[in-house]
Amino acid sequence: MVLLKRFSLAIIGLVMMLLVAACGGTTTTGSGSTPTAAPTTAPAAVIKTATATVDGKSVTILTDAKGMTLYYYTPDTTTTQSCTGQCLVNWPAAVFTGTGQPTAAAQLPGTLATLQVAGGNQITYNGHLLYTFIGDKAPGDVNGNKKGGVWFVATTDTLAPVLKTASATVGGKTVTILTDEKGMTLYYFTKDTATTTACTGGCAQAWPPLLNTGTGQPTPEGLSKGTLAVLQDANGNQVTYNGHLLYTYVKDTAPGQTTGQGVGGVWFVATTDTPVMK
């Protein structure tokens, strides 16, 4: 009887050992048997920032990965590259060759994106296509600023375009007019001076002033001549073109309308040929 019990216990023990072995039964401790995920590496930043002196002021500029200053070109639009051929030899486009969206080494107040152009995916900042300049030889150089009145250093404060251009018929002639970002025609008021607005109160309700709401200088798209600036007046930081304060008109209800032309003999459509205020 004793022998039978011992034999039964031996059989049970053998069965248990076989079951444990079949289930991969030895237990191990430690992390050696647990697969470890490979560490992920963040994509390298293609846009950096630096401090530079531009127009006598210390500003934070945008640079490429090598620290070379980046610029924008006012004849470009948010959908079209106007710098081609020899222009691109002198002003190489900042092209993004990675996947996803371009990144910056520091947090930017504006937006980085890309636009597909003939040379690849060109980097944009707040809608402005970005370029370097072959005349800059070292990081921090800003030799391209204001070249031809159409090239400007891109800074962290560079705003999305507040002024655009369009073709319209004014006085029976096809001209290039100035518009706001929504395409509404801009006008100037001959009673204004270079330092003072004559349109406030009820006048400014009928002729809303074009205001610059950011901290940087106003930027255009599709503009190859003339000067944009800001005048702080009773209406706020009002945008000027060649010294003329700019306004829209409430009776224009769609882009391309110029119903304010000649009103009272003192309101006129602002065009790219509007002369400098004297």
Q: List, for residues 1-31, the tens digit of each pLDDT value.
A: 444 444 444 445 544 444 444 444 444 444 4
How do beta strands 95-96 and 112-117 pair? unpaired
Average pLDDT over residues 189-209: 97
Q: What is the pTM of this model?
A: 0.76
pLDDT score of 147: 96
Phi, psi of 204 (to 5 degrees): -70, -20
Q: Give the span between the Cα atoms of 82 and 65, in whole angstroms.
A: 24
> What Å distances lie between residue 109 and 60, 90, 100, 106, 266, CA to CA?
11, 29, 20, 10, 40
Both tokens assigned to 70:
């980046």
Residue 167 has pLDDT above 60, yes or no: yes
pLDDT score of 42: 52
SS3 269: strand
pLDDT score of 53: 96
What single letter denotes the amino acid at residue 209? P
What is the residue extent of each domain of the chain?
48-153, 163-269
Average pLDDT over residues 244-271: 98
Average pLDDT, rounded, for the chain: 88
Average pLDDT over residues 229-243: 96
Residues 6+ apart with CB under 8 A from 139: 50, 63, 66, 67, 68, 69
Q: Is there a contact between 199 and 192 (Cβ–Cβ < 8 Å)?
A: yes
pLDDT score of 240: 97
Residue 233 has pLDDT above 80, yes or no: yes
Residue labelled with tokens 């920032």: 49
Share of residues in the chain with pLDDT > 90 (%)? 80
Tens of pLDDT, residue by residue over 135-162, are 999 999 999 999 999 999 999 999 899 9
Confidence bin at 214 (pLDDT 50/70/90): confident
Tens of pLDDT, residue by residue over 29-87, are 444 555 555 555 556 789 999 999 999 999 999 999 999 999 999 999 999 999 999 99
Q: In the chain, count of helices (H) and strands (E)?
A: 3, 15
Confidence bin at 215 (pLDDT 50/70/90): confident
